[in-house]
Amino acid sequence: MLLTDVTLREGDQMPGRAFTAEEKVACTRTLDELGVPYIQPGFPATGERDQQVISELAGTTDAEIVALARALEGDIDAALEADADVVEVFVSASDRHLEHLLGTSREGMLSMLGEALDYIHDHGRTAHVTLADAFRTDHEHLVELIETVPNAQFVSLADSVGARTPATVEDYLDGLDGHVAFDRLGVHFHDDMGCGTANALAAYHAGVGKADVSIAGLGERAGNSALEEVAVACTVDHDDTLGLDSGTLIPACRSVLETLGEEYGERRAVLGRKVAEHESGVHTAAMLSDPATLEPFDPGYFGGQRRLVFGEPTGRGSARRLLQRADIEPDEGTISAYLDALATVGPVDLDEAIALGQREFGA
């Protein structure tokens, strides 16, 4: 499965956000170094800033630079003039969205979409399509839609309001199996029910070819499928790095968030600095022996860092192993004295704990 990063476009649509052109360019270059194959920095029809961003990035990245556009000639012209590698056209797919958002019939939408894609190809550019509210659209309508755009490289199905769960995503895709080519399908999920990442993984298991993701799930309302969570889950479960440089994943994602001034919780999955921190006496004792005992993955593999913390909660088993690492014989009296010392100076990290043992009990 390939990834399209939408952090800079979706995140910019959150209330109170206005990422600068400089921030968007810098973040795109970080994502490019990470190995993300498609990056969507903006929506050129919205103004000069996004046009500038895409123009500055065009031809300078390994990633394909994607510009979002409605199925309107003016939107497409803005993307073409910015020299985007890919023009991604979005249209409404469900009856509800056709009536209340697009204000047109299904036939009218199909005509608009077909003309838009012909226009893009006439100008020698690659076209992608996103179908809004696709997961609440009848299968027959969706198959018809996909069949009418054979010149689109990818057709992404959007769960625009975050209304699906992994089970319903799986069921919906099962209904398309045999009718459309899954390697040409993409998915775009929102996290309104907390299922954004899980839904992207369900699509991965179904064989879908591409997924939209954003760092820390940044995006409208509750956000989108989180890039770092999807990447780590696929690596751990399937030994599939999705083409990313795994060793720089965590630092790259943190760098983007810091550049954009976006906060993330210290206990946020994958990225939080506390998720690989352990202090419980039982936990630290086991992890001094074998870290995998209580970790789903080695954070160092993804550029993160494990931190073991020692102090008052430290147990005798941990103290014994720490003293052994400090080359000190862990007799019962030394262990008790060492625990008292840890309780007094703690909490300390592993190196500090070993140094304390050497200082207090070394020859």
Q: Are residues 96 and 217 in the same domain?
A: yes
Total domain count for the chain?
2
Would you state the pLDDT for residue 257? 98
| Residue 180 DSSP SS3 | strand
pLDDT at 80 (0 to 100) = 98
| Contact between residue 157 and residue 135 where contact means Cβ atoms under 8 Å apart | yes
**What is the tens place of the pLDDT at every residue in 206-263?**
999 999 999 999 999 999 999 999 999 999 999 999 999 999 999 999 999 999 999 9
CATH number for 224: 3.20.20.70
Q: Give the mean model confidence (pLDDT) for residues 351-361.
A: 89
- Based on the fold, state whether residues 134 and 214 are members of the same structural domain: yes
- DSSP label at residue 343: H
How much is the pLDDT for 363? 63
The answer to whether residue 266 is domain-embedded is no
Residues 294 and 160 in one domain: no
Q: Are residues 162 and 299 in the same domain?
A: no
CA distance 280 to 282: 6
Is residue 265, in this structure, part of any structural domain at all? Answer: no
Do 246 and 314 belong together in one domain?
Answer: no
In a shared domain, residues 234 and 328: no
- pLDDT at residue 44 in the model: 97
- Mind listing the pLDDT tens digit for each residue in 145-182? 999 999 999 999 999 999 999 999 999 999 999 999 99
**240 neighbors 33 (Cβ within 8 angstroms):** no
Give pTM, 2 decimals.
Answer: 0.92
Question: Is the model's pLDDT at 361 over the cut of 90?
Answer: no
- For residue 44, being part of any structural domain is answered with yes
Which residues in 1-17 are b (16+ Cβ under 10 Å) and which e?
bbbbbbbbbbbbeeeee
- Indicate whether 250 and 281 sit together in one domain: no
Say yes or no: 316 and 356 in one domain.
yes
| Domain final residue pick, 235, 260, 285 | 260
Same domain, 306 and 181: no
pLDDT > 90? residue 278? no
Domain contains 220: yes
Domain boundaries, position 297: 277-361
The residues, ordered by sequence, that sit 6+ positions from 363 with a Cβ below 8 Å of its Cβ are none
Residue 281, pLDDT > 80, answer no
The last residue of one of the domains, among 196, 225, 260, is: 260
Q: Can you read off the two tokens belonging to residue 19?
A: 């990422």
Strands (E), the chain: 2-5, 38-42, 64-70, 86-92, 126-132, 154-159, 185-189, 210-213, 277-278, 307-310, 348-349
Cis preceding-peptide flag for 347 (omega within 30 of 0): yes
Angle between helices 48-57 and 73-81 (to 10 degrees): 40
- Of 203, 234, 260, the position where a domain reaches its end is 260
Do 193 and 159 contact (CB within 8 A), yes or no? Answer: no
Q: What is the pLDDT of residue 91?
A: 95
Contact 237, 205 (CB under 8 A): no
Count Cβ atoms below 10 Å from residue 208 Cβ, excluding itself: 24
Q: What is the pLDDT of residue 279?
A: 79
Residue 68's Cα: distance from chain center in Å?
19
Does residue 245 sit in the same domain as residue 146?
A: yes
Region 33-49: mean pLDDT is: 97
Q: Is the pLDDT of residue 280 over 80?
A: no
Side chain identity, residue 33: E
Which comes out higher in pLDDT, residue 100 or 158?
Answer: 158
